Amino acid sequence: MRAIVVMLAIVLSSVAARADRPVTPEEQASIAAVLEAEGCSGGEYEYEDDDDEAYEVDDARCADGTYDFELSRDFRILERDRDD
């Protein structure tokens, strides 16, 4: 029984470690600057602990439509997908 409890604790802690989290105010400012340079604004920002793409922006408004972005940990755009 004790072994099951220990294994369950390990599994739950690894799942929690991979959970997404809101971005910090500093990260939000950096992401907004990247979007502004692309002629975009707004959207929902999220940090992803379990991915090479550290930041995700959903529904950013750009001059030619709405886009989703994936950014690296150093705020470089890795992907820009039109959100139709």
How far is Cα 62 from Cα 38, in angstroms, rounded to an integer? Answer: 8
What CATH number should be reported for the domain holding residue 35?
3.30.505.20
Could you tell me the CA-to-CA distances from 78 to 40, 47, 63, 71 in Å, in that order? 16, 14, 20, 5
Question: What pLDDT, on the 0 to 100 scale, is given for residue 83?
Answer: 87
Structural domain contains residue 13: no
Q: How many domains does the chain have?
A: 1
Question: What pLDDT, on the 0 to 100 scale, is given for residue 63?
Answer: 95
Please give the average pLDDT of every successive group of 10 residues along the chain, which has 84 residues. Answer: 53 52 95 97 91 86 96 94 89
Structural domain contains residue 51: yes
Question: What pLDDT, on the 0 to 100 scale, is given for residue 33?
Answer: 98
Pairing of strands 40-41, 65-71: unpaired
Question: What pLDDT, on the 0 to 100 scale, is given for residue 59?
Answer: 97
Structural domain contains residue 56: yes
Q: How far is CA 49 from the centre of its chain?
A: 8
Question: What pLDDT, on the 0 to 100 scale, is given for residue 16?
Answer: 45
Residue 76, domain extent: 21-82
Structure-block tokens of residue 33: 């600057």
